[in-house]
Amino acid sequence: MGNCHTVGPNEALVVSGGCCGSDYKQYVFGGWAWAWWCISDTQRISLEIMTLQPRCEDVETAEGVALTVTGVAQVKIMTEKELLAVACEQFLGKNVQDIKNVVLQTLEGHLRSILGTLTVEQIYQDRDQFAKLVREVAAPDVGRMGIEILSFTIKDVYDKVDYLSSLGKTQTAVVQRDADIGVAEAERDAGIREAECKKEMLDVKFMADTKIADSKRAFELQKSAFSEEVNIKTAEAQLAYELQGAREQQKIRQEEIEIEVVQRKKQIAVEAQEILRTDKELIATVRRPAEAEAHRIQQIAEGEKVKQVLLAQAEAEKIRKIGEAEAAVIEAMGKAEAERMKLKAEAYQKYGDAAKMALVLEALPQVRLPPKRIS
């Protein structure tokens, strides 16, 4: 009979031996296996990660500078069947510390040999490349032991003669110098940029001022044009108003003359009736017919004379009144025409084409009616 053995994922179980002298070995991790009593043997080996700190003191570099280098490595036993068998062959029965010591000595040997081929600057300034080189060189050797290097980094690098400190001071001085140069260049670029910005601002301001001046000039020109047009229209309206006023005055004066003529005709008719009345009165009051007849004839002659005289006086008065009215009208029209021509001349001189057009319109012939004669 036998027992059933279980194992977790962090360790491996090795079952060896069997019936009939078999040398078969069974490797199990994270599972179970059957082992016979008395004829089978079971052993366990850890698969957990092991942390190592390889340290090389006073190892001379390619330049002969003694350095002390400390690294950190993470290693573990591989779980592939062939590699696990190799690891069990070499480490089965040993504790974890013994395995660490073997791997640690291997890593320190490779670390020491690589340090002798590099300069201090290569080791100090490019630690990642240095650690990668150590891992690549040591991996085949530890791999033949069934060990896998999961990671390897350089923890510390120092020396006892202050070589690294001097190197750091030199680098610091170089960095400080570059920083000062960078600050100076930045200040120079800032000054140049500030000057360019000021120039752009002045250019924009100049363009804005130019546009404002152009707008003001255009506004003044437009305003002047509007004022000229308004003045022309005002002058035309004033001329039209004065001409219309003169025409109305002429019509009014003609109507007054006609009224005076009618009144004079009525007065002449009244005077003729008075003459007739007087003539009848004389005939009725004369006692002797002959005297009455003679007196009648004489009165008729005198009345006819008076009538002719009055008619002549009325005609002369009518002609005089009509002449005076026409003279007054002609005088008023002459004054209006002179004033109009004066305004037209001023408008022509000041407003140009608009006044010329008004002058042409006013020069058209006007129809003037002849005065009426009294019958």
Max Cα–Cα distance, the chain, nearest Å: 220
Spatial separation of the C-alpha atoms in residues 237 and 240, rounded to whole Å: 5
Own/partner pairs for 264-267, CB < 8 Å, 24+ apart? 264/314, 264/317, 264/318, 264/374, 265/314, 265/374, 267/314
Collect all residues with Cβ–Cβ distance below 8 Å to 45 and sequence separation of at least 6. Answer: 11, 12, 14, 77, 87, 88, 91, 92
Q: Which residues pair with 3 in a beta bridge?
A: 35
Q: Contact 79/65 with Cβ under 8 angstroms?
A: no
Q: How far apart, in whole angstroms, are the C-alpha atoms of residue 279 and residue 300?
A: 7
How far apart, in whole angstroms, are the C-alpha atoms of residue 107 and residue 21?
40
Distance of CA 300 to the CA centre of its chain: 113
The pLDDT value given to residue 332: 76
CA distance 293 to 282: 10
Residue positions counted in the chain? 375
Q: Could you give the CA distance from residue 266 to residue 248 in angstroms, rounded to a whole number?
A: 28
Residue 16 dihedral angles phi and psi, to the nearest 5°: -125, 155
- Two tokens at 347? 């408008």
With CA atoms as reference, report the closest residue to 251 among 351, 149, 185, 329: 329
Spatial separation of the C-alpha atoms in residues 136 and 143, rounded to whole Å: 11
Helices within the chain (DSSP H only):
81-91, 96-115, 120-125, 127-143, 163-285, 289-351, 353-362
Judge contact between 235 and 340, C-beta under 8 A. Answer: no
Which amino acid is located at 39 in the chain?
Answer: I
The domain locations on the chain are: 1-45, 48-160, 161-247
Predicted local distance difference test score (pLDDT) of residue 375 = 47
CATH superfamily of 48-160: Band 7 domain (3.30.479.30)
Measured distance CA(15)–CA(85) in Å, rounded: 12
C-alpha to C-alpha distance for 138 and 133, rounded to whole angstroms: 9
Sign of the dihedral defined by the CA atoms of residues 127, 133, 138, 140, in that order: positive
Contacts made by residues 342-345, CB under 8 angstroms, sequence distance 24+: 343/235, 343/238, 343/239, 343/242, 344/239
pLDDT tens, residue order, the chain (375 aa): 666 766 767 777 777 666 555 566 766 766 666 566 666 666 677 778 888 888 888 777 777 778 888 888 888 888 888 887 888 878 877 888 888 898 888 888 888 888 878 777 777 777 788 788 888 888 888 888 888 888 888 888 877 776 666 665 566 556 667 777 887 788 888 888 888 888 888 888 888 888 888 888 888 888 888 888 888 888 888 888 888 877 888 888 888 888 888 888 888 888 878 878 777 776 666 555 666 677 777 777 777 777 787 777 877 887 888 877 777 777 777 777 777 777 767 766 665 666 566 656 666 555 454 555 554
